[in-house]
Amino acid sequence: VPGWNNALIQDKAAHTTTPLNITVTSEYKEAKGTYDIEVTVRYTEAVTGKHALHLFLTESKIIDVQELSEGIYKDDYEFNHILRKYITPVATGRSIETGADLKEKGRVYIYRNSLKIDKDDVAQSYWKPENMKVIAFVTDMSAADKHIMHVMETELK
Q: Which helix (H) or strand (E) holds 12?
A: helix 2-14
Residue scoring higher pLDDT (1 or 33): 33
CA distance 10 to 5: 9
Residue 90 · residue 137 · CB < 8 Å: no
Alpha helix stretches (DSSP H) within the chain: 2-14
Mean pLDDT of 40-54: 95
pLDDT > 90? residue 104: yes
Lowest mean pLDDT among 1-5, 89-93, 118-122, 137-141: 1-5
Q: Using a pLDDT cut of 90, give the percent of the chain over it.
A: 80
User: 54: number of CA atoms within 13 Å, CB side?
Assistant: 21
Give the pLDDT score at 1: 58
Tell whether the model's pLDDT for residue 28 goes beyond 80: yes
pLDDT higher than threshold 90 for residue 53: yes
Q: Provide the 3-class DSSP secondary structure of residue 3.
A: helix
pLDDT at position 21: 98
Q: What is the pTM of this model?
A: 0.89
CATH homologous superfamily of domain 18-155? Immunoglobulins (2.60.40.10)
Domains of the chain: which residue ranges?
A: 18-155
